[in-house]
Amino acid sequence: MRYSHKLSDAVHILAYIDICHDGDLSSTAIAASVESNPALVRRLMGALRRGGLLATQQGSATPKLARQPAAITLFDIYQAVEGDGNLLHVDDKTNPHCIVGGNIQDTLRVAYAEVQSAAETQMKAITLARLIGDILTRERAKQGPAGN
């Protein structure tokens, strides 16, 4: 099974732009932080721009958040980079003549819809500001008490 890192990378990009706003915001610099390539960063930044979360100018490495971090939710970011994709997927190739294979798809669709709804509700409660705050708190903890 292949996992998508789009959401994780998109959050990384937005947090980097906010935290490092006075530094190098080129796709190359951001890609170095993500440990990816600049083309992928540019594609994700394009999706974030189309999603109304990022403001960019062609030919200028000066991206900015289009809204305050407290007004951007994890769900907003998810929608921008994943579209209307579901978190879980049903295997449509099961044996319809088997008691399990003939019924599992509809059974799982109902259960997966519940999971999707709960996940979306939780994602709407998590803001980019909260994630950035956690990043900064973890960094301060790594640095230890001032003067030591």
Above 90 in pLDDT, residue 2?
no
Q: Which token pair is 64?
A: 């900015």
Burial class, 14, CB count within 10 angstroms (exposed 0-12 / middle 13-18 / buried 19+):
buried
- What is the helix, strand, coil percentage profile of the chain, to 5? 55, 10, 35
User: Which backbone phi and psi does 127 adopt, to 5 degrees?
Assistant: -100, 160
Average of pLDDT values for 8-27? Answer: 97
Give the predicted TM-score (pTM) of the model: 0.88
124 and 69 Cβ atoms separated by less than 8 Å? no
